[in-house]
C-alpha cells in the first residue's frame, strides 16, 4: 500500500497505523496468522483484513481497542523509527509552503535521515514531480532505501553520497551541462550546509528561481550558512524559528463571589459553633463532672460516630465520599468530573501542558535564474528592454 494513494479497506500486506493514544502509534504490515500484542489486548491481523480504514477494532478479549488508520506522512512522523533528529509536521508544513513545493515540483534533499520530510515532499510533488534525496551514512541509506521501496514512493530517488564533497549530480562522470536535475526547491539537513551550497548551481533550474531551506539546530551554523549563501548569489535570505503550541478546550467551573462569601460565612459559623461546644465541655469539667461520665459520653460519641461512618461508607458505594462539611458549592474534596451536572461550567482554552522546545532554525533564500546572454553586453551590463 503506497503512502501516496488511498484505499477504502485493508488487505493482506497493507501498511496500517495502529492508533492507541495520542502519543502511541505503531506501524503494522498486515500479515496472515500474525497478532499485534499490546497492553490493551491482542489484535489478530486476520481480523483486520476487510475492515474499512479508520475502524475502531476491539481486542480478542474485548477489554481494549485501537484504531486502524491509513498511512500518512503526519502519522508516519509520529511512529517512525528514529535514526536521526526528524523534521516534525509544524516545521515540514511551513517549509513546503515557503519553498513553493507543489504537484510537479522537482526537489533536492540532502540528509535523508529518518525519512520524515522525504515522505511529506513525496506526497506533495505527486506523480508528476520528483524528489532527489541524498544520505552519506551507509546504514541510514540502506534503511531509508528499504522504507522507500516498502512504502512505494516511486517519485523518490535516493542516492548514497556525501554531497559536500561530491556534489548532487546523479552521474558525476557526465559532461558539464548534462544530467541537470532542474530542481526548483532545495532542502539541506546537514551538519555543514555551507559546504554543499557551492555545488547547487550545476543542478538547480536555470529557467526559474530556486528556493532553499537549511535546517540547522545551532545559530553558529546559521551564521556560516548565510555567509555561503551571500557568496553564491542567493537573495532574500531570512532565518525563521517555528514554535508550535496546541490549544486545548476545557470546561472550567464558574465560582461566583456570592458563593465565596457564603462559603466564608459558613466556615465562620462552624468554627464558632465548635468553639462554643469546646467551651461548654470545659465548663462542665470545671463544675466537677466525674471522669466516668466523661468517658461514658466519649464512648457514646464514638459509637454514634462509628454508626455514622458505616452509613457513610454504604452511601459511598454509589456516591463519592464527602471530605468537607457545610456549604460546598464547588464540590471541594470530591472527585468532580469535568462538565458534571449540578455545577455551572464555562468553556475555556489552555495551551498544552508540555510545550515542545526548540528544534532547529530554518534559513530560507532564493536564487534567481541567470540573465539570458542576449540581454547582457560584452561588459556584463544588462541591456535595456526598451
Say how far apart CA 113 and CA 132 lie, in whole Å: 14
What does DSSP assign to residue 202? T
Q: What CA dihedral angle connects 184, 189, 194 and 198, to 10 degrees?
A: -30
Nearest of 72, 78, 82, 89 to residue 26 by alpha carbon: 78
Say how far apart CA 217 and CA 362 lie, in whole Å: 9
Residue 266 annotated as part of some ligand binding site: no
Exposed e or buried b per residue across 338-370, where buried means at least 16 C-beta atoms within 10 angstroms of its C-beta: eeeeebeeeeeeeeeeeeeeebbbbbbbbbeee
Say how far apart CA 140 and CA 133 lie, in whole Å: 12
Please check whether residue 58 is in contact with residue 40, taking contact to mean a CB–CB distance below 8 angstroms. Answer: no
Residue 189 annotated as part of some ligand binding site: yes
Sheet of 210-216: strands edge to edge? 156-160, 130-135, 106-110, 185-188, 210-216, 361-367, 235-240
Cell of 8: 477504502
Q: What's the gap between Cα 174 and its chain centre?
A: 43
Nearest of 10, 73, 3 to residue 44 by alpha carbon: 10
Residue 162 annotated as part of some ligand binding site: yes
Say how far apart CA 375 and CA 237 lie, in whole Å: 26
Q: Can you say which residues are annotated as belonging to the binding site for S-adenosyl-L-methionine?
A: 135, 162, 189
Q: Can you say which residues are annotated as belonging to the binding site?
A: 135, 162, 189
Amino acid at each position: 500500500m503506497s503512502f501516496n494513494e488511498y484505499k477504502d479497506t485493508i488487505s493482506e500486506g497493507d501498511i496500517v497505523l495502529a492508533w492507541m493514544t495520542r502519543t502511541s502509534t505503531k506501524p503494522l504490515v498486515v500479515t496472515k496468522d500474525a497478532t499485534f500484542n499490546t497492553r490493551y489486548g491482542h489484535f489478530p491481523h486476520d481480523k483486520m483484513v476487510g475492515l474499512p480504514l479508520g475502524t475502531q477494532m476491539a481486542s480478542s478479549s474485548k477489554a481494549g481497542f485501537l484504531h486502524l488508520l491509513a498511512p500518512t506522512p503526519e502519522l508516519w512522523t509520529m511512529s517512525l523509527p528514529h535514526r536521526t533528529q526528524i523534521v516534525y509536521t509544524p516545521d515540514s508544513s511551513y517549509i513546503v509552503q515557503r519553498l513553493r513545493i507543489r504537484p510537479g515540483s522537482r526537489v533536492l534533499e540532502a540528509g535523508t535521515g529518518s525519512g520524515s520530510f522525504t515522505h511529506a515532499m513525496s506526497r506533495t510533488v505527486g506523480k508528476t514531480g520528483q524528489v532527489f534525496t541524498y544520505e552519506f551514512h551507509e546504514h541510514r541509506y540502506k534503511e531509508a532505501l528499504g522504507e522507500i521501496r516498502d512504502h512505494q514512493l516511486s517519485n523518490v530517488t535516493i542516492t548514497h553520497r556525501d554531497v559536500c564533497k561530491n556534489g548532487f549530480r546523479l552521474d558525476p562522470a557526465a559532461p558539464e551541462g548534462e544530467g541537470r536535475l532542474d530542481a526548483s526547491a532545495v532542502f539541506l539537513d546537514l551538519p555543514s550546509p555551507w559546504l554543499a551550497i557551492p555545488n547547487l548551481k550545476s543542478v538547480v533550474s536555470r529557467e526559474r528561481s530556486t528556493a532553499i531551506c537549511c535546517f540547522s539546530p545551532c545559530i553558529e551554523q546559521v551564521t556560516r550558512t548565510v555567509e555561503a549563501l551571500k557568496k553564491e548569489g542567493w537573495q532574500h535570505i531570512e532565518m525563521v524559528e517555528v514554535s508550535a503550541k496546541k490549544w486545548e478546550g476545557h470546561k472550567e467551573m464558574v465560582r461566583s463571589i456570592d458563593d465565596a462569601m457564603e462559603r466564608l460565612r459558613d466556615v465562620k459559623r462552624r468554627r464558632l459553633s465548635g468553639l462554643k461546644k469546646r467551651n461548654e465541655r470545659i465548663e462542665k469539667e470545671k463544675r466537677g463532672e466525674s471522669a466516668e461520665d466523661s468517658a461514658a459520653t466519649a464512648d457514646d460519641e464514638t459509637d454514634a460516630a462509628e454508626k455514622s461512618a458505616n452509613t457513610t461508607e454504604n452511601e459511598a458505594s454509589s456516591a463519592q465520599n464527602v471530605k468537607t462539611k457545610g456549604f460546598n458549592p464547588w464540590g471541594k474534596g470530591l472527585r468532580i468530573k469535568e462538565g458534571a451536572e449540578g455545577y455551572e461550567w464555562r468553556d475555556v482554552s489552555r495551551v498544552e501542558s508540555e510545550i515542545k522546545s526548540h528544534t532547529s532554525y530554518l534559513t530560507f533564500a532564493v536564487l534567481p535564474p541567470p540573465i539570458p546572454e542576449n540581454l547582457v553586453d560584452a561588459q556584463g551590463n544588462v541591456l535595456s528592454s526598451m
